[in-house]
């Protein structure tokens, strides 16, 4: 177990990479299933989407923190990534309320996931 009194920039960068990878897997996989069911595209997209969603389930296990905090913080990252996906892929620009909500969710991510906690042990990165 590792003490979580201090979280270095390196660990923050690595955790953000895992959050982004998980977000791409969840949103990308979900979008492929969406295209299959809602847009009437090939069932092969649904199969591929299912595989990508399965991969999404694996990525958070690579984070060396507690399950509940990973998924809580990921929710905020997911909000931002879903809005960016809609803008980049579907051409739907986020409005003021989308942006305010995304900022609030990112503040929540910083508080939940990155605030140091005294005397809290987290699972070690070296299993």
pLDDT tens figures, 79-116: 999 999 999 999 999 999 999 999 999 999 999 988 88
pLDDT in tens, 33-82: 999 999 999 999 999 999 999 999 999 999 888 888 899 999 999 999 99
Q: Please state, in angstroms and as integers, the Cα–Cα distance from residue 98 to each residue in 16, 76, 83, following that order.
A: 21, 12, 7
Q: How many residues does the chain have?
A: 127
Check the CA dihedral 74-126-114-85 and report its sign: negative
pTM value? 0.77
Q: With the C-alpha atoms ordered 38, 42, 47, 53, is the resulting torsion angle positive or negative?
A: negative
Q: Where are the domains of the chain?
A: 2-122
């Amino acid at each position: 177990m590792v003490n979580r009194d201090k979280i270095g920039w390196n660990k923050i960068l690595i955790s953000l990479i895992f959050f982004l990878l998980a977000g791409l897997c969840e949103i990308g996989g979900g979008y492929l299933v969406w295209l299959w069911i809602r847009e009437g595209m090939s069932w092969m997209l649904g199969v591929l989407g299912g595989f990508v969603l399965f991969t999404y389930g694996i990525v958070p296990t690579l984070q060396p923190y507690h399950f509940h905090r990973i998924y809580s913080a990921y929710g905020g990252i997911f909000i931002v990534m879903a809005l960016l996906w809609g803008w980049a892929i579907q051409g739907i620009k986020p409005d003021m309320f989308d942006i305010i909500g995304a900022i609030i969710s990112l503040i929540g991510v910083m508080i939940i996931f990155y605030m140091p906690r005294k005397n809290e042990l987290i699972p070690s990165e070296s299993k």
